[in-house]
Amino acid sequence: MINVALPKGRLGEKVYATFEKAGFECPSIKEVNRKLVFENAEKGVRYFWVKPSDVSIYVERGAADIGVCGKDILAEYEPNVYELLDLKTGVCRMAVAARKEFFDDRNSTLKVATKFVNIAKNYYAQKGREIDVIHLNGSIELAPILGLSDVIVDIVETGATLKENDLEVVETIMPISARLIANKASFQFKTKEIEKLVASVSALAEQEKI
């Protein structure tokens, strides 16, 4: 039995549809109820929905054998897991954005508002730029508008929210997409089952580009 942690929301549903097509369906997952765990003993899979940012924790701690989460979460928390597949869905990018008139004055410390503190710190450390990180949990775009920060580091999908708030992308840090991850210990003891699932999903993802 493989335990699979899926991220709640649109991405998770899309990924489940791929798993289903790949032959790892679990019909009970589509029933409308408050159940959290769904199992198909015949196919050897058990799914559960968790908050997207918690998927890597479930997998790293072995509560789930495999899981699907965004590269942003993996880059931010650096969990000790295998990253077996790029599902090429949920595609977006991690970027630095600022007000259109922003000029980076290197004489002063750059104030950076973000949910992704480690990504921001690592990125600017590589550039040798001194920063003051302001950790926010939401509405990051508001920070430069109100003068709380000079720039923001956040996920950009279409750029529409930025545009509506007179912000623009200044630099791209990294491309983001959904990744299939596995617990390192589980992989040793369920190698064949995980390999089979990864091969089926990979073939399908390649064929359909999800």
Contacts with another protein by CB under 8 A lie at 60-62, 80-86, 183-186, 188-189, 191
Tokens of 47: 């799914």
**Cβ at position 76, least distance to another protein in Å:** 14
Amino acid symbol at 195 = E
**Cβ at position 202, least distance to another protein in Å:** 10
Looking at the Cβ atoms of 115 and 190, the one nearer to another protein is 190
Looking at the Cβ atoms of 17 and 185, the one nearer to another protein is 185
**Cβ at position 78, least distance to another protein in Å:** 9
CA nearest to 6, candidates 181, 202, 200: 181
Looking at the Cβ atoms of 18 and 183, the one nearer to another protein is 183
d(CA 158, CA 82): 29
Amino acid symbol at 16 = Y
Helix (H) or strand (E) holding 83: strand 81-86
Looking at the Cβ atoms of 148 and 198, the one nearer to another protein is 198
**Cβ at position 149, least distance to another protein in Å:** 26
User: CB–CB of 8/70 below 8 Å?
Assistant: no
Tokens of 178: 């959904």
